[in-house]
Chains A and B, each alone.
Chain A
Amino acid sequence: MAKCKSCVVLPFLVGLVASIVLGWWGFPKVLYSQKTQPIRFDHVVHVEDQAMACEDCHAYREDGSFAGYPTNANCVGCHEDVQGEDPDEARYVAEYVQQEKEVEWLIYQKQPDNVYFSHIAHKDFDCTSCHPDVANMSTPPVYYENRLSGYSKDTMKMWQCERCHAENGASNACFVCHK
């Protein structure tokens, strides 16, 4: 009987542990593909060396909407021609500016179309409350794309929005985000 007991418990424990390890370690590796930005944008060069402010590129428009990532129209002010020795800058000028093609930046926190998120309504929060602190990065973080849903791993989930709203006394009515 003792032999039979170990035949049951031990495999169970092995299955349990293996499943937990695979679930927490292996599953994310399978679920998310890793992508890098089309151009390695160096925030440090722009923020520290050129003393640019976040708003120089990530600005609010006149109607209060948020411009998000800059377009070539922003960048060509300086990068119509190659300025430095960074190979990614040269590639940007050759492949995008000169070809009049916009860079398809990967957006870490992109929300679905059925969610209306207003940046200007959240302007009192630090950008890094929700976004990675890219201002101090020379290489943008890796972008993890969920192979099933197609969204970024960093896309904020609804419960996160609701929790923050609740904590800050903001309404959690449906129409606040779902117009």
Chain B
Amino acid sequence: MGIDRRSFISLVAGGVVGSTFTPVIWKTLDDVSIWTQNWPWIPTLQYGEEQKVPALCKLGSDAYGIKIKTIAGRPVAAEGNPDHPLSLGGICPLGAASVHLMYSPSRVKNPKLKDGSSFKDISWDEAEEMLAEKIKAAGSSVAMISGDETGSVTDVLAGLVGKAGSDKSFLMPSESAPAAAALAMLGGDGQVGYDIENANYVLMLGADALGSWGNVARNGKAFSASREKGVKYIYVGPAQNGTTAVADSWIPCAAGTEPVLAMGLAAVIAESGRDRSFWPGFAAFAKFVKAAYPLDKVAEITGVSAETIKGLAGELVRAGRPLVLTAAEAGQGLGAFELAAGMSLNMLLERVNTVGGVRILPWAPSVVEAAADKKTLLASDVVAYLSAVADGGAEAPAVLMVHGANPAYALPNLTKAQAAIDKAGFVVSFSSFMDETAAMADLIMPDSYAFERLDDAYSPYGSGQPNYTVAAPVIKPVFDTKPAGDVILAVAAKADLDLGFESFEDVVKAKAEALGADFDEMVEGAAWVSEEFPAQDLALWTTPLEELSVAAADGKTLALAPVLRLKIGSAKIAIPPFNTNAIRFDEMLGNDMYVLMNAATAKNLGLNKDDAIKLAGAGGECKARLRIFEGVMNDTVVAPLGFGRTAWDEFSRGKGDNVYKLLAADIEAQTGLSRFATARVTVSKA
């Protein structure tokens, strides 16, 4: 019997019918549907034990304890640390995004050497040898810039610079520097902090305490607790923000003139009530504020009515434990005189070095030989130095080392800062990320990320009591990175500069010992806290008094109010990928950022909602779009810091413009510190 066409068709038909009685069709269909769930690009969960490990968040200007949730030892989320005095369970928007940043596409994954306009990968041995040789060759022509005010890595780097014979060690701008200088004007010596928890009336003169300023997580907790206690929080500033959204009231005040209001309040309070004539410095101070800051003049400069000023002064006097927090809206840029204005108001209210008032904290102990101490670092102004280098007034360093800072993005006089970096002989970045400064560097020696290294923090600015935190690594480095502290020590040894320590852990242990803290306990998550405040011999202003300089309204320009929104990033960090969804439709349009002004101001300028506009200041120009917001004072434009990145990754690069470009600094003659909080800009259609 042969197989003909009919037989073949029967065979196939039998096979098909038979297959329906087997799992072939049904199982294949089922498995194919499951297969579509398991394509290789679909992420899969990793299972394991869940733990919560203490860590440090230094992504903003604060440095506070958080907890990292790990699964099988792998970080997956961050949350507040209820046991840490600066978190109390709270976390900031950058802390919330901190775990995801560890895997950010902008991480620098290994050491890199500039090769033309790009970088080539090199080994750690090559990088360390190269830097050691450069330092040897540079002699004392080395400089460093750190963005970490609280950590011992800064001490190690400053030690290396000091040992090389240079005094060019700098911190990035913050309010610690002018606050310390302001305290010195009152005869004090130490770090300035604020016991916000125990105040019963909090007057925030520009300080965005619940949004971005100071120990922002701790401030939020203090505010939350204050609701039941009837404590009033008053915000004074040019525009509504996250703080005004919840504060008891908002008093509109022209941008950058809050210190003038402080002087006006001081003038009213000095006139009233009790006899203070026996206070050191009071007579001269009272005479000065009475003459220089009469009510009507203060009202005209600030835009706050005389009645409101008198009312505020009365509330402060009656409050019992009032606290005045003076700051720039963006948390940096005030001069020492402006901060001294706020400080003297606290003095007048007898709120300095007392419970619920301004606290003076001891300086961090110095443990690294030859390192400039914190007080010296705060007195050295990086903006002034880089501007001088750019202008030829100071010699460009042969080696410039940058740690935890991004001076090519986050400084006033930005073009000068960039020019100075360009002029430096050899620029080394220890950044974990490809930030704007790393992109300009000759050598990148990537620091391990916050959760991959041992780190410490002593009393960040604003702390109400001395505190010290040590955080152990949560995970081994996920890329070929090394902790900067250890790398700097290794390089110093290779350059024959003995810093006295073999490992960064030894430095931290020495600091803990100097403080009387237990290293082992702190590594487990217990912060060291002290109640010892050095005695101060204060007087109401020991420096010759002078009027605060305020850029006068001229009818052509607007007052610029730069604001910091942590979700957008900070001076150290660009927009975290995790936070892009938190940037609202009224903060960005496409790749354009919005700036805010009220309808009357916009009308005066002939501008409409969503117009593409150009802001021009003494430092440079910025592009933006206009959003009308009635929570802004007349003749004021509010512009967010943090946009306009030129490096980093697709989550931040090319989005909006860099408002730092608008900021021009002038140097305070008495302190040598830069002032850039008050700027005026012209606004026109782009």
* A interface residues, Cβ below 8 angstroms from B: 4, 6-20, 22-24, 27-28, 31, 61, 63, 65, 67-68, 71, 112-114, 146, 148-151
In chain B, positions 257-310 with a C-beta closer than 8 Å to chain A are: none
B11, B24, B34, B38: which contacts A15 (Cβ < 8 A)? B11
Find the A residue at minimum CB distance from B42: A113
Report whether A7 and B18 are in contact in the complex, using a CB–CB cutoff of 8 Å: no
B34 and A151 contacting across the interface, CB-CB below 8 Å: yes
- How far does the alpha carbon of A71 sit from the alpha carbon of B486 in the complex, in Å? 31
* Complex alpha-carbon distance, A16 and B12, angstroms: 8
Known: A6-B1, A11-B10. A19 touches B28 (CB 8 A): no
A4: chain B residues at CB < 8 Å are 6
Complex alpha-carbon distance, A14 and B15, angstroms = 8
Q: Is the interface of B mostly helix, strand, loop or mixed?
A: helix
Supposing A7-B4, A8-B6, A63-B50 touch, asked if A23 and B31 sit within 8 A by C-beta, the answer is no
- Asked if B14 is an interface residue, CB under 8 A from chain A, the answer is yes
Question: Is the beta-carbon distance between A113 and B10 smaller than 8 angstroms?
Answer: no
Instruction: Tell whether, in the assembled complex, residue B31 and residue A148 are in contact, meaning their CB atoms are under 8 Å apart.
Output: yes
Q: B20-75: which residues lie under 8 A (CB-CB) from chain A? A: 21-24, 27-28, 31-32, 34-35, 37-38, 44-45, 47-50
What CA separation (Å) do A146 and B394 show in the bound complex? Answer: 71
- Taken residue by residue from 1 to 19, chain B's Cβ proximity to chain A (1 for < 8 Å, 0 otherwise) reads as 1011011101111111111
Residue of B nearest to A102 (CB): B72
Closest to A66 in B: B47
Check A23–B18 contact: CB distance below 8 A. yes
The answer to whether B7 and A7 touch across the interface, beta carbons within 8 angstroms, is: yes
Cβ A7 vs Cβ B21 within 8 A: no
Contact A11 B47 (CB under 8 A): no
The 15 listed contacts between A and B (C-beta, < 8 Å) are: A11-B14, A12-B10, A12-B13, A14-B11, A16-B14, A17-B18, A23-B21, A23-B23, A24-B23, A27-B27, A28-B23, A31-B31, A114-B37, A146-B34, A150-B38
Task: Known A63-B50, A150-B38; judge A19-B22 contact (CB<8 A).
Answer: yes
Distance of A18 Cα from B17 Cα, bound (Å): 11
Would you call A23 and B22 a contact (CB within 8 A)? yes
CB atoms of B23 and A8 under 8 A apart: no
Bits for B218-237, please: 1 = Cβ < 8 Å to A, else 0. 00000000000000000000
Smallest Cβ distance from A164 to chain B, in angstroms? 19
Instruction: List CB contacts (< 8 Å) of B98-141 with chain A.
Output: none
Interfacial chain A residues near B27, Cβ < 8 Å: 27, 31
Q: Is the interface of A mostly helix, strand, loop or mixed?
A: helix
Highest count of chain B CB atoms <10 Å: which of A6, A11, A149: A11
Q: Which 6 A-B pairs have the closest CB atoms?
A: A23-B22, A15-B14, A19-B18, A12-B14, A15-B15, A148-B31
Instruction: State the CA gap A59–B548 with chains docked (Å).
Output: 68
Chain A residues within 8 Å of B23, by CB? 23-24, 27-28
Q: Given A14-B11, A15-B13, A149-B34, are A24 and B6 neighbors across the interface (CB < 8 Å)?
A: no
Contact A16 B44 (CB under 8 A): no
* 12 more CB-based (< 8 A) A-B contacts, given A23-B23, A23-B24: A7-B7, A10-B7, A11-B10, A11-B11, A11-B14, A14-B14, A15-B10, A16-B14, A22-B22, A65-B50, A68-B47, A148-B31
* CB-CB nearest in chain A for B5: A7
Of chain B, the residue at the smallest CB distance from A18 is B15
Chain A residues positioned under 8 Å from B28 (CB to CB) = 148
The chain A residue sitting closest to B19, CB to CB, is: A19
Shortest Cβ gap from A17 to chain B (Å): 7
**Chain A residues with Cβ under 8 A from B37's Cβ?**
112, 114
Pair A24/B38 contact, Cβ less than 8 Å: no
- Report the separation of the CA atoms of residues A113 and B38 in the bound assembly, to the nearest whole angstrom: 10
Among A7, A18, A68, which residue has the most Cβ atoms of chain B within 10 A?
A: A7
Q: Cβ of B8: which chain A residues have Cβ within 8 Å of it?
A: 11
Closest B-chain residue to A113, C-beta based?
A: B45
Within the assembled complex, what's the spacing in Å between the Cα atoms of A7 and B45? 57
B16 pairs with A19, CB closer than 8 A: yes
Q: Is the CB of B38 within 8 A of A149?
A: yes
Shortest Cβ distance from residue B40 to the other chain A in the assembled complex, whole angstroms: 10
Q: Within the assembled complex, what's the spacing in Å between the Cα atoms of A24 and B13?
A: 18
Quick check: A24 and B22 within 8 Å, CB to CB?
yes
* B45, chain A: closest CB distance, angstroms: 5
Q: How far apart are the CA atoms of A78 and B6 in the complex, in Å?
A: 71
User: Which A residues touch B1, using CB under 8 A?
Assistant: 6-7
